[in-house]
């Protein structure tokens, strides 16, 4: 069996143990990245393709006759033509539950940075404002405790549940949203109700046709004017331009985005403008803890082995 990893550098592989890949297949190749025009050349005669974010569309799948297995080093599968894969009897497997601790940690890092005004106070100290203070401390920016706040979770899978556990330890009230258009479930709250009541909204949804721009201008208007929106899911779950406008207009209190609707974003992306208040943007690093990335490798190797054993696991197609 021949296997190729199309975008290995997306795992920042320098501190990872990759030996499992070479043990599980006969021939192993990898590329740091694969440009659109290089996809077929890099795939070549491989039976197995491993990819994080390289687009494997209908045309690519049909032009790769040896391809039998696609392994995604992520949970989302929106970069693969899944319907074509099914038609061609190509197995597609993803990885799940690999970054729960890393993502939950990142969500609360963003939440705490916002509510403690971490960056505002750091900048104030660097400007010399503490040195000029007439008293021992600076109190220019109001700090809020998480205890007693309501955390609204939209997308209550592995990651949403991981965040809920931490929220309870902070003394927050947790509200889990019913997915819009989904079946009613006990213990879930209507989407609009969660938007109206939550002090913090955290998103953990896949990007699907019915979740694209789920958080749009209308949804933002329903939120509290002091509310914080956190997105560590997929960038296009939020209407990025609408969010930029809402923050400028004070519609909500702030936003912390680890994902944008175009990645990497162009310099003129709506959420990279320098005049947007109360916005934190991190470069899609919520998942990137070292152990989480090693989990990705280990789970991908396990997916390949399961396929070779005739019992594919974590199938999305």
Long-range CB pairs of 116-124 (<8 Å, 24+ gap) are 116/143, 117/141, 117/142, 117/143, 119/280
pTM strictly above 0.85: yes
Alpha helices in 45-156 (DSSP H): 58-62, 82-87, 100-115, 118-126
- If you write DSSP's letter for every residue of 269-280 in order, what string do you get? -GGG-TT-SSEE
What is the distance between the alpha carbons of residues 24 and 285, in angstroms, rounded to a whole number?
29
Predicted pLDDT of residue 19 = 96
Residues 6+ apart with CB under 8 A from 225: 250, 251, 252, 253
Angle at 64 between CA 58 and CA 69, to 5 degrees: 85
What is the distance between the alpha carbons of residues 152 and 62, in angstroms, rounded to a whole number?
43
Predicted pLDDT of residue 206 = 87
Predicted pLDDT of residue 261 = 97
Residues labelled catalytic: 234, 263, 284
Tokens standing for residue 274: 């320098």
Say if residues 75 and 94 touch (Cβ distance below 8 Å): yes
Pairing of strands 228-231, 200-203: parallel
Per-residue pLDDT in tens (0 to 9) along the chain, 317 residues? 999 999 999 999 999 999 999 999 999 999 999 999 999 999 999 999 999 999 999 999 999 989 999 999 999 888 999 999 999 999 999 999 999 999 999 999 999 999 999 999 999 999 999 999 999 999 999 999 999 999 999 999 999 999 999 999 999 999 999 987 777 788 899 999 999 999 999 999 988 889 999 999 999 999 999 999 999 999 999 999 999 999 999 999 999 999 999 999 999 999 999 999 999 999 999 999 999 999 999 999 999 999 999 999 999 98
Tokens standing for residue 135: 């008293």
Predicted pLDDT of residue 129 = 97
């Amino acid at each position: 069996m021949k296997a190729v990893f199309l975008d290995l550098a997306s795992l920042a592989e320098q501190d990872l143990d990759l030996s499992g890949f070479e043990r599980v297949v006969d021939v192993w190749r990898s590329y740091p990245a694969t440009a659109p025009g290089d996809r077929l050349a890099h795939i070549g005669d491989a039976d197995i393709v491993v990819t994080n974010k390289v687009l494997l569309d209908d045309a690519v799948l049909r032009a790769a006759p040896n391809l039998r297995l696609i392994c995604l080093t992520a949970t989302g599968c929106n970069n693969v033509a899944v319907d074509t894969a099914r038609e061609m009897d190509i197995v597609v497997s993803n990885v799940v539950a690999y970054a729960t601790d890393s993502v939950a940690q990142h969500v609360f890092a963003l939440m705490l940075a916002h509510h403690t005004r971490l960056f505002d106070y750091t900048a104030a100290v660097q400007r010399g404002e503490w040195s000029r203070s007439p008293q021992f401390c600076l109190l220019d920016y109001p700090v809020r405790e998480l205890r007693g706040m309501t955390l609204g979770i939209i997308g209550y899978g592995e990651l949403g549940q991981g965040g809920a556990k931490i929220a309870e330890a902070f003394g927050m009230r947790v509200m889990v949203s019913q997915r819009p258009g989904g079946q009613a479930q006990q213990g879930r709250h209507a989407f609009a109700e969660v938007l109206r009541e939550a002090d913090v909204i955290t998103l953990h949804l896949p990007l699907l046709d019915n979740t694209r721009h789920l958080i749009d201008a209308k949804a933002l208007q329903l939120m509290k004017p002091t509310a914080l929106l956190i997105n560590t899911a997929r960038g296009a779950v939020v209407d990025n331009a609408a969010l930029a406008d809402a923050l400028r207009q004070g519609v909500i209190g702030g936003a912390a985005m680890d994902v944008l609707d175009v990645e990497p974003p162009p310099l003129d992306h709506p959420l990279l403008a320098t005049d947007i208040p109360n916005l934190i943007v991190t470069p899609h690093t919520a998942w990137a803890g070292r152990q989480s990335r090693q989990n990705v490798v280990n789970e991908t190797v396990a997916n390949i082995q399961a396929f070779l054993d005739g019992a594919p696991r974590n199938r999305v197609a």
